[in-house]
Amino acid sequence: MKYGLIKVAAAIPGVRVADVDYNVQQIENLIAQAEGKGAEVIVFPELSVTGYTCQDLFRQQLLLEKAEEAIIKLLDFTRKLDIISVVGVPVRIGPLLYNCAVVVQGGTILGVVPKTYLPNYCEFYEKRWFASAADLMPQDIYLAGSLIHVSAEPIVFRTCDGVGFGIEICEDVWAPLPPSNNLALAGADIILNLSATDELLGKHNYLCSLLAQQSARMMCGYVYSSCGFGESTQDVVYGGNAMIFENGRQLATGDRFSLEPQLQIQQIDVERLRGERQNNTTFRTAQDGATARVVYAKSVNARPFELVRPVNPHPFIPEDGQMTSSCEEILNIQTMGLCRRLHHTHCDKAVIGISGGLDSTLALLVVVRAFDKLGLSRKGIIGITMPGFGTTDRTHDNAVSLMTSLGISQREISIAKSVTQHFEDIGHDAAVHDVTYENSQARERTQILMDVANQVGGMVIGTGDLSELALGWCTYNGDHMSMYGVNGGVPKTLVQYLIRYLAQLPAFAEQRDVLIDVIETPISPELTPADEQGNIQQKTEDLVGPYELHDFFLYYMLRWGFRPSKIFMLAQHAFEGKYDDETICHWLQTFCRRFFNQQFKRSCLPDGPKVGSVSLSPRGDWRMPSDAFSTLWQKECEALER
Annotated binding site for ATP: 353-360, 463
Report d(CA 369, CA 131) in Å as an integer.
62
79 exposure class (CB count in 10 Å sphere: 0-12, 13-18, 19+): exposed
Exposure b/e, 254-289, CB count within 10 A at least 16 = b: bebeeeebbbbbbbbbbbbbbbbbeeeeebeeeeee
Residue 507 CB coordination number (10 Å): 11
Q: Show binding-site residues for L-glutamine.
A: 121, 203
Report d(CA 168, CA 83) in Å as an integer.
19
Which of 499, 440, 435 lies closest to 472 in space, CA to CA? 435
Calculate the CA 105 to chain-centre distance: 32
What secondary structure letter does DSSP report for 2?
B
Q: Positive or negative CA dihedral for 158, 197, 70, 12?
A: negative
CA separation, residue 96 to residues 88, 171, 198, 353, 600 (Å): 17, 19, 26, 77, 67
What secondary structure letter does DSSP report for 379?
G
517 exposure class (CB count in 10 Å sphere: 0-12, 13-18, 19+): middle
Report d(CA 105, CA 85) in Å as an integer.
6
Report d(CA 175, CA 198) in Å as an integer.
17
171: amino acid identity, one letter: E
| Angle between helices 61-77 and 20-36 in degrees, nearest 10 | 20
Active site residues: 46, 115, 170
What would the DSSP string read from start to end of 268-318?
A: EEHHHHHHHHHH-HHHHHHTTT---EEEEPPP---------S---S-TTSP
Q: Show binding-site residues.
A: 121, 203, 353-360, 439, 463, 468, 473-476, 601
What would the DSSP string read from start to end of 112-161?
A: EEE-S----STT--GGGT-B-GGGPPPEEEEETTEEEEE-SS-EEEE-TT
Report d(CA 24, CA 490) in Å as an integer.
54
Give SS3 for 212.
helix
Report d(CA 2, CA 161) in Å as an integer.
9
